Amino acid sequence: AAPKVVVIGGGFGGATAARALHRLGVAVTLVERDATYLSCPFSNAVIAGLREMEAQRFGYDGLRREGIAVVLQAARTVEARQVVLADGATLPFDRLVMAPGIALRPDAIPGLDTEVMPHAWRAGPQTLLLRRQLEAMEDGGLVVLSAPANPYRCPPGPYERASLIAHHLKTRKPRSKLILLDAKDTFSKQKLFEEAWAALYPGLLEWVPLSSGGKVVEVDAAARVVRTEFGEHQAAVANIIPPQSAGRIAQAAGLTDRSGWCPVDPVSFESRQRAGVHLIGDAIIAGAMPKSAFAANAQARVCAEAVAALLRGEAPAPPKLINTCYSLVEPGYGISIAGVYQPANGLLADVPGAGGVSALGAPAATRAAEAGYAEDWFRTVTADAFG
Ligand code: FAD
């Protein structure tokens, strides 16, 4: 019989992998727990009231039309050569690809109640809750946002979010302030963000690094108080982004290491803990490669080629992968960072001299062009994943 591949998770990684495997002639079944996928990329614009949730919504009809079997159920466990679904049914596989994304760890911050202080780090009800809280806030209120230590989903995401919330405050509630508490002393595209903040949001947006008391140690959700190593902040709205780990199914299947993430071979994306199981996207330790939708999509294509080669009894070829992360700092003002990665010493490492960031001090027309590229990328990547 033809070899069978099961893919768990229909996000940017899993949906792309399923389509790429199908194009390579592999019989593939996609297992996804939700009928609708809500995209995190551009969800910061939804929070700031610049975009509607409708634009974030994707489904699996495109995959079904191509002939991919889509099972809308949660995968419960992974056994030796089969996936057990929530209803107890089993799906046998010769190789398994897992792209379950992240699990959030709100318990890491004592007192955190995410229904009061939303994380909005998975697009959905949390995104809309944070938006409603900002809309309901009185002019003059303090918004507290907190960014976790590395590694976490979307390194520039908290800074894009702070920028777009600051834009919202500047245009609608100009007496308000935003404090961005950070569990780090440096961050992605830092000089570009700081250049933009100085020009667009002086006195409105304040970034507090780890060494100045940026790490949140505790919150009082009911009182909306956020405590750091150095003091406390009385928030009107608090958006606490907790630490993260690989999605729960990866933990349950014994694929994570002590870091909470999944180590993989950087050529085949096969788990280091379990032969025949491949992992891609946010759930993995990808060396220098960040946790982004762009990266998950790139890893999915490489992983599909590797799985198809292994099923033919061939060795997969060492890949080169690209990532680009765009961020908006206000509507029509985009900045980006790009990198190229290749296997080295068992991880994915930067290709020296490749990649880079947008230029500092660039004219408005360049920033506007980058904002346009961000939208073009979103159309391209969602079409590649969902058809
Ligand atoms: P996900 O997209 O999370 O997909 C995982 C899927 O697996 C989900 O559909 C889930 O339902 C499913 N699943 C999990 N467990 C099971 C199970 N047991 N059974 C069945 N299904 C299961 N990236 C960019 O490249 N550009 C951006 O501009 C960008 N902006 C972002 C902004 C924000 C605010 C955030 C939070 C993230 C942003 N990202 C961006 C990052 C991007 O969203 C993630 O890196 C990307 O979604 C990772 O893809 P993934 O396939 O690994 O996981």
Checking DSSP bridges between strand 90-92 and strand 232-234, what pairing results, if any?
unpaired
The confidence score (pLDDT) of residue 153 equals 98
State the pTM of this model. 0.98
Digit-by-digit pLDDT tens for the chain (387 residues) are 789 999 999 999 999 999 999 999 999 999 999 999 999 999 999 999 999 999 999 999 999 999 999 999 999 999 999 999 999 999 999 999 999 999 999 999 999 999 999 999 999 999 999 999 999 999 999 999 999 999 999 999 999 999 999 999 999 999 999 999 999 999 999 999 999 999 999 999 999 999 999 999 999 999 999 999 999 999 999 999 999 999 999 999 999 999 999 999 999 999 999 999 999 999 999 999 999 999 999 999 999 999 999 999 999 999 999 999 999 999 999 999 999 999 999 999 999 999 999 999 999 999 999 999 999 999 999 999 999
ipTM above 0.95, yes or no: yes
Does 261 contact ligand 1 (Cβ within 6 A)?
A: no
pLDDT digits (tens, 9 = 90+) for 283-316: 999 999 999 999 999 999 999 999 999 999 999 9
The two three-digit tokens of residue 279, written as one number: 């992992």
Q: What is the pLDDT of residues 66-88, one digit of tens each?
A: 999 999 999 999 999 999 999 99
Per residue in 313-363, pLDDT (tens digit) is 999 999 999 999 999 999 999 999 999 999 999 999 999 999 999 999 999
Looking up tokens 């792309």, which residue turns up?
A: 16
Q: Residue 5: what pLDDT?
A: 98
Q: Give the distance (Å) from ligand 1 centre to CA of residue 282.
A: 7
Q: Whose CA is nearest to atom 32 of ligand 1?
A: 41
d(CA 98, CA 113): 29
* Per-position DSSP letters for 242-292, written without gaps between them: --EEE-HHHHHTT---TTSSEEB-TTT-BBSSSTTEEE-GGGEE-TT--S-
203/231 Cα distance (integer angstroms): 20
Backbone angles phi, psi at 130, to 5 degrees: -65, -40
Q: Residue 78 is encoded by which pair of tokens?
A: 């992974």
Distance 101 CA to ligand 1 centre (A): 5
Using the mean position of ligand 1's atoms as its centre, give its distance from the Cα of residue 36 in Å: 13
Task: List the beta bridge partners of residue 284.
Answer: 262
Ligand 1 touching residue 177 (CB < 6 A): no
pLDDT of amino acid 53: 98
Q: Which residues contact 289 (CB under 8 A, 6 or more apart)?
A: 295, 299, 321, 323, 339, 341, 348
Per-residue pLDDT, 1: 79
Gap from CA of 37 to ligand 1 centroid (Å): 9
Query: For position 56, what pLDDT does the model report?
Result: 98
* Distance (Å) from CA 12 to ligand 1 centroid: 6
Distance 10 CA to ligand 1 centre (A): 9
- The dihedral built from the CA positions of residue 317, 258, 184 and 50, taken in this order, carries a sign that is positive
What percent of the chain is helix, strand and coil (3-state, nearest 5)?
Answer: 30, 30, 40
* H or E stretch covering 350: strand 347-350
The answer to whether the CB of 339 is under 6 A from ligand 1 is no
Is the Cβ atom of 300 under 6 angstroms away from ligand 1?
no
List the one residue out of 228, 13, 339, 25 whose CA is nearest residue 5: 25
Tokens 């940026």 — which residue? 214
Protein residue with least CA distance to atom 29, ligand 1: 41
Nearest CA, atom 31, ligand 1: 41
